[in-house]
Chain A
Amino acid sequence: MKKALVLLGCPEAPSQTPMAVYSVYKLTSLGYQVTVASTPSALKLLEVSDPEEFYVKNKIDIESCLENLEEGSFDLLVGFVHKDAAVSYFVTFYSILNTTSIAVVFERDPELLENYIESIEESTDATIVSARAYHNPTPLRVKFDRALKKLED
């Protein structure tokens, strides 16, 4: 079974948690065994959103995950990026895993959004899904679906 890692950043942006649950749902339906790596605060939001673990079955603390990460641990990396620190985390996970990756980049400020995209483009070959989004996950969801479809084709 293919394995995917969904990497969450700081849960400050409202779009992240619903997009995290949605991405796990989509990836599971595509046959991936999905693990979500997150901070304890992002994990709390996931636990409340999906109390019976109907969607998110495998969760791990981001630091423990990073500590034990090796090339080949996952077949796909999906990282949520809406802060400078999340760019660093995504690029680091990408560098270690050296696998197919999708960066879901979102931010209200267009200049910051562009900076995050540029940093990821300069350091990785990841597919970038980006939108000026904060509360509304729909633009990200639509673009994420397109990126997954492209990946599967």
Chain B
Amino acid sequence: MTFCLDTYLRESENYEILITRAGFKECKQLIEKHAPETIHVKAGEKILGVRIIGIPPITIGIDENKGTITLPYTKPCYGTSVVELPVDKEEIVNIRSLDIKSETHRI
């Protein structure tokens, strides 16, 4: 069974919300400050079974020592939150492979 972020956030308590009901830019800055490593992905890229919503390039934080990723999570009426959650090593490799490697990428 594939991992689904929506289901995980509903059914697990093993994650941390770093900020909630915020603007996308504020969330991006927080991820950059919080995570020891960041990658950037296209808007709509699927990570952990859901499309990542935001303004590209979308910053995803990786903490290999803690085994976590930090990502923005947007809902229409609630703005954007930043969530840090544990993922296995294989998933970190998958997420790194989505890096568009450019700070000024425009779709």
Could you tell me which A residues sit within 8 Å of B by CB distance? Answer: 9-10, 12, 39, 41-42, 62, 66-67, 69, 83-89, 91-96, 98, 119, 122-124
Contact = CB atoms under 8 A, between A and B. Distances in A.
B75 to A, nearest CB: 7
A123 B56 contact: yes
Given A88-B55, A91-B56, A123 B74 contact: no
Contacts of A96: 43-44, 51
Which size bracket describes the interface of B in this complex? 20 to 34
A52 B70 CA distance: 45
24 contacts: A10-B76, A12-B77, A39-B77, A42-B76, A62-B76, A67-B51, A83-B76, A83-B79, A84-B23, A84-B80, A85-B74, A85-B77, A85-B80, A86-B76, A88-B53, A88-B54, A89-B76, A91-B43, A92-B53, A92-B54, A94-B43, A95-B42, A98-B107, A119-B25
Given A88-B24, A123-B56, A69 B77 contact: no
Interface string B66-105: 0000000011111110000000000000000000000000
Contacts of B53: 66, 88-89, 92
A42 B44 CA distance: 22
B106 interface: yes
Nearest to B77: A10
Given A95-B43, A95-B44, A95-B107, A87 B55 contact: yes
A96 B44 CA distance: 6
Interface of B: 23-25, 42-44, 50-56, 74-80, 106-107
B52 to A, nearest CB: 8
A76 to B, nearest CB: 17
A32 B44 CA distance: 25
B55 A123 contact: yes
Contact of A91 (B23, B55, B77, B79): B55
B54 A9 contact: no
Contacts of A10: 76-77
A122 B104 CA distance: 10
A84 B35 CA distance: 23
B23 to A, nearest CB: 4
B43 A92 contact: yes
A9 B79 CA distance: 11
A89 to B, nearest CB: 6
